[in-house]
Structure 1
Amino acid sequence: MLRILWPSQFRYDKKAIILTTLKDIAVRANISTSTISRFLNNDPTLSVSDKKKQAILEAVDALGYKSPQRSKKNFNQTSSDDTQDCEINYELVLVNFLTPTQEIDDPYFTSIRAGIQNRCLEKGITLRSLHIHQIEANQVLLRNAAAVVAVGHFSNEEVSLLYHTNKNLIFVDSNPLGLKTDSVLIDRTALAHDVMSFIITSQCKKPAFIGNNEERLHAFREVTQSHGLYIESLCKVSKEYCIESGYQAMKEMLQHKTLPDVVYAATDMVAVGVYRAIYEHGLSIPEDIQVIGTNDISSARHMSPSLTTMRLFPFEMGEAAIDMFIETLAGRRHKKTVLFSHEFIWRDSFTKK
C-alpha cells in the first residue's frame, strides 16, 4: 500500500513516533474535527470565533502538527534524503450534493466530509470542494483531478456528467453506476431489516415510517406487509432528511384516527421533528408512541427521553473513500464497493422486549 508521509507531521516521545491527527488536535482544543479540518483547509464558508481559532492554532503548535500544504512550501529547502518520504501532492475534487448551509444542518454528511478532509491532510493530498451546481463551470478542474469523490445522491444527468468528465469516480453514500466506479455505502437494507426485526419481536402492531424513497422504505413496506401490519397513512415519504420534514410528516400522521405505536425515523434529525410533533399533540414517548432513529448524533443521548438509534460510521466512510483512492495509486485496477455496518444503541425511546 502506498503511504504518503510528511516528516513534519510527526511528534516524538521517548518510546514511540506518533502521527498527529485531527482527532489529537480536536481532543486538545475541545473542538470538532469537522471545524478543525475546514479551518486548516481555509474553507471560506466556515464561521468560527477568534477564541476557537486561537485554540486550534495553539493545539497545532503544541502537537507539532503541520498540514501537508505547509510542508510542501518547505519542500525545496529539504535535503535529497529528506524527500524520499514525500510523494507527489495529488489533487482530488470533492463534489457535494448539499449546499454548505444544508450540510451544516446534517451531522451525517458533515462527518463524511470531515473524514475525507482528515485523511487528505494526513496523506498530503490536496482537496478542492465543489457543490453539484458548480460542476458545469468547473469542467477543467474536474477533468484534471486525480479523482473525484462524489458525496450524496445525484440525478441521472448529474451522474452522467461527472462520469464523462472524470471516470476516476468514488461515490460515498450512493452507488448509481454499480461496478463502473468505487463506492462507500451503508448497507441500508440490512439496517432496516434489523430495525424491523426488533419492532416485530417487540409486538408493535402499528409501525410507522418517515424517510426518503430508498432501501429502508422498501424494507419497511416488505416486512409490514408480510406481517399484515402495513397501513398507508403511517408511511410518510419525504424529500429531505431534516427536523422540519420529520415534524410535518408526524403532524400529518397524527391527524388520522389510527395512530402509530412506534415510528421508525430515517435519521435522528427527522426523529427530533417527530418528538416535537408528538409532544405538541399532547402525547408522550415511549408510553404512547415509541421512536427509533438512525445515525446516533451527539444530541441523541440528551433528548428527552434519550433516543434509541442505529449508530453509523460516516467519518470512517469518508476516510475509506480516500483509502480507496490511495489503493488505486498503488495499482488496484478493479472497482470495489465498501459496505459499512451499523450498531443498535438502546436508549429510552424504544423498549426492547
Structure 2
Amino acid sequence: MATLKDIARHANISTSTISRFLNEDPTLSISEHKKKAILEAVEALAYQSPKRSKKQFTQAKVAEPRPNETSLERQELVIVNFLTPTQEIDDPYFTSIRAGIQNRSLQKNINLQVLHLDQIDSNLELIRQSPAVVAVGHFSAKATHTLYNTNPKLIFVDTNPLGAKTDAVLIDRFALAYDLMQHVVASGCQRPAFIGNNEARLHAFQQVTKAHGLYHDELCKVSKEYCIESGYLATKEMLQLPTLPDVVYAATDMVAIGVYRAIYEHGLSIPDDIQVIGTNDIASARHMSPSLTTMRLFPFEMGEAAIDMFIEKLEGRKHTKTTYFGHEFIWRDSFKKN
C-alpha cells in the first residue's frame, strides 16, 4: 500500500505539504502545479488514506495554468534583514518595512524565507536559488558583495550600496532633512541641535545651519544607535551647556522619545523651553505629550514596493530600477509655527 513518503518521492514534494493538502488545510499556500502533481501521484500509486477515499482525492479539479502566466510560488523569495527580530522590535521604521513586505507577499501568494545577515554565509545555496533577494537595511561591504556575487538579482530597501547594479527602494534622507530645516530656519530658532548618525540628515543639518549662521558644533550629537537611550543621553549632555538649544532635531521618533525624557527630567517644558522635531511619524507620535512634530515617511509602502519590483523581475524586467519615496512634514504641538 502506498504511503505519503511514496507520494512525496513521486511528486518531489515534501510529505508535510502533501499531508496538509490532502487534509484540506486552509492555511496552506500551494501552487496549482504542485496540486496537480500530488493528485497525479495519488492516482498513479492508488493511494488510500485512512480518513479519505481515493475518489475524493481524484475528483478535485486543478486549474491549468494560463499561457505565459507567471507563477509566484515556484521558489521562495529570500529576505535578508540586517536587524535581528529582537533589534527590530525597537525600530518601528524597519518593522513597518517588514510588514509591507509580508502584506504584499500575502496578497500575491508569495512564500518568504527570512534570513538575518549573520546567516548569509551558511545559506548561500538558498540565496543562489532564489529568483531574487530582498535585502533590508544596511550591510557591510563584505556582506553586500557576498550577496551580489551569489545572486545579482538584488532589491535593496533603505540603502543602495551598489548603485545602478541593483534595484533599490529608498528615501532621500538629505532632501527630507533639508526640507525640515527650512521650517526650523523660518521659525526663528537660533540654536538648533541635531541627534543622529553621521549620514545625510546630519550633513543637511550642517549645510543649512552654516548657511544661515546657526551652526554650533556642541549641538551636533552623533550616535551609532537610533534609540531612546541615545536621544536621552545626548540631550542630557546638551542640557549641561551654558546656553541651551531652542530646538532639537531628532533623526528618528524613537530618539525624540529620549529627548522628551531628558528635557522633562531637567525641569523644562516642550515647546516653551525647547522644541522637538522627529522623523518617521510612528503611531505613538501623536499621543506623546505634547504631540510630536515629525517628518512622515512611508516604510510600509516601501516594503510593498520591494515585492512589486520582485514581481516585475519575474515578469521579465531586465533593467535595474530605483524608487524614491517622498516625505511629509507633520505639524504638531512640540514645534511652534511662526
> What TM-score do you get using the length of structure 2 for normalisation?
0.82
- What's the CA shift for 1:249? 1.0
Displacement of 1:87 in angstroms is: 2.1
The answer on 1:208 being equivalent to 2:193 is: yes
Aligned to 1:278: 263
Q: Give the secondary-structure state (helix, strand or coil) at the position aligned to 1:69.
A: coil
Aligned partners of 2:304, 2:82: CA distance in 1, in Å?
18
Cα distance in structure 2, aligned partners of 1:68 and 1:234: 55
- Quote the Cα distance in structure 1 between the aligned partners of 2:119 and 2:326: 32
| Corresponding residue number in structure 2 for 1:217 | 202
Unaligned runs of 5+ in 2: 1-25, 40-59
Larger of the two Rg values belongs to structure: 2
Cross-structure match for 1:269 = 254
Identity %: 69
**Can you give the 5+ residue segments of structure 1 that lack an aligned partner in the other structure?**
1-65
SS at match of 1:306: coil
Aligned pairs for 1:106-121 (under 5 A) are 106-121=91-106
SS in 1 for 2:229: helix
CA displacement, residues 123-161 of structure 1 (integer Å, 9 cap, x when unaligned)? 121111111111111111111111111101111111111
CA distance in 1, matches of 2:231, 2:265: 13
Counterpart Cα distance in 2 of 1:136 and 1:113: 22
Deviation at 1:258, TM superposition (A): 2.3
- Distance in 2, Cα, partners of 1:209 & 1:248: 13
Find 1:243's aligned residue among 213, 228, 233: 228
Equivalenced residue count is 289
Q: Does 1:87 align with 2:71?
A: yes
Indicate yes or no: 2:29 matched with 1:69: yes
Q: Does the alignment pair 1:302 with 2:287? A: yes
Change in CA separation of 1:243 and 1:159 when aligned onto 2, cut-off 3 Å: same
> Once the two structures are superposed, what CA deviation does each residue of 1:153-173 show, in whole Å capped at 9, x if it has no partner?
111111111111110100000
Mapped contact 1:75–1:83 kept (Cα < 8 A) = no
Q: After TM superposition, give the deviation of residue 186 of structure 1 in Å.
A: 0.7
Give the 3-state SS of the residue equivalent to 1:101 in structure 2.
Answer: helix
Residues 1:133 and 2:118 aligned together: yes
* Deviation of the 1:265 alpha carbon: 0.5
Map 1:152-231 to 2 at 5 A.
152-231=137-216
Residue 266 of structure 1, CA deviation: 0.6
CA contact (8 A) 1:271 1:293 kept: yes
RMSD value over aligned CA atoms?
Answer: 1.9
Q: CA deviation at 1:71?
A: 6.4
CA contact under 8 A between 2:197 and 2:223: conserved in structure 1?
Answer: yes
Does the C-alpha gap of structure 1 residues 326 and 71 become closer, same or farther in structure 2, counting only changes over 3 Å?
closer
CA contact (8 A) 1:68 1:121 kept: no
In structure 2, C-alpha distance between the alignment counterparts of 1:268 and 1:282, rounded to whole Å:
21
The question of 1:312 aligning with 2:297 is answered yes
Tell me if the contact between 2:32 and 2:64 (Cα under 8 Å) persists in the aligned partners.
no
